[in-house]
Structure 1
Amino acid sequence: MRAIQYFNFRNSLAALNFYEKHLGATNIRRVGGDDPRFQDMPDEYKVDDDFTMHASFEIMGETFYCSDTYKHRKIDNSGAIVSLTFNYEDEADRQRAIDFYGRAIEGGCEVSIPLGETAWSKLYGIFNDPFGVTWMINAE
């Protein structure tokens, strides 16, 4: 069994595009409202073609799921926190974490805690993405 973070967004397409461009998301798979499986749904359940019924993607080798909120209703993701840990002693792993954090900030994510040494970690930082998700980088 695995635990996989599942996000709800008002606009998953925008989030998926941002994650791909700025956080390096890969293996993006999406089932939209235009999928043929949903053509015969009763009118009261029909959604727009750009509605994300379900999507999956990978960031830093971890899998995440997401979907849109029904009728693109607003959602507050301020409690959604992703903690990505890495081996500080592994130079390649450490550099991947540094590069990931840098790309996120360059892409428009907001710094909460600058990436650096703390009393509890040799390398630690937090940023918030434009969709309300908090990302924590932490050396093991």
Structure 2
Amino acid sequence: MAIFNTYLNFNGNAEEAFIFYKSVIGGEFGVLMRYQDIPGGDKVAEDVKDKIMHISLPLGNGNILMATDAVASMGHKLLTGNNFYISIYPESKEEAEKMYYGLSAGGKIDQPLEDAFWGAYFGMFTDKFGIQWMVNYEYPKN
């Protein structure tokens, strides 16, 4: 069965928020990636380079709190209500497709389900009820 986690969007203060969460919850960041670290990151605006592209704080039992800075200059418009996603981590590519195409039926595709630069099969959508979802199948590591 897939694992379901929460993915938060911040208006430029994801790092501050996660330092705070870590101080209360404990643990260590699993990933801390800035926009300057992504492919093409050298072309990102100076005021965006140090913003958080992806951060994760493992919470135990497969639960992870994750986030990004939703940057307006990159086409993101952060509003209360779109500041989180339910992130699904399926056990197989087939389960990823079932979850993605099933839950997105009647909704709006935000990013097609496809191979991503971080080595996963990834897609995003908003379901017909207005809930935002991410599907991220991590290919097995060799």
TM-score (norm 1): 0.43
Structure having the higher Rg: 1
